[in-house]
Amino acid sequence: MFILTLTYIAPIDKIDALVSAHRVYLDKNYTFGKFICSGAQVPRTGGIIVCNAADKAEVQHIISQDPFYTQGVAKYDIIEFTPTKFASEFKTFIKE
């Protein structure tokens, strides 16, 4: 499991111009079962995505398709972790 932290590196007007395309990217990865939850940071300096991928290579492939990444308006940090405690509703995302 991975936590992806996006940090905006461009002015907010450039971010806003790509939000619709970024949401299409998010929707595609929700459909594929790769994203669990996502949202903007507060204050709006970037975003967070919880990603269910097999490995870091898959995460990097997923990131490479984000318009925020391809257009150079955000950078990604990747944190890998192994969930050991979780709400029962979350169990569907855990590989045993």
15-26 as b/e: b if 16+ CB within 10 A: beebeeebeebb
Q: Which among 71, 63, 65 is positioned nearest to 17, based on CA atoms?
A: 71
Residue 69 sits in a domain of what CATH number? 3.30.70.1060
pTM of the model: 0.92
Residues of the chain with pLDDT under 50: none
Domain assignment of residue 48, given as a range? 2-93
The residue with tokens 């995505």 is: 49
What total of structural domains would you count in the chain?
A: 1
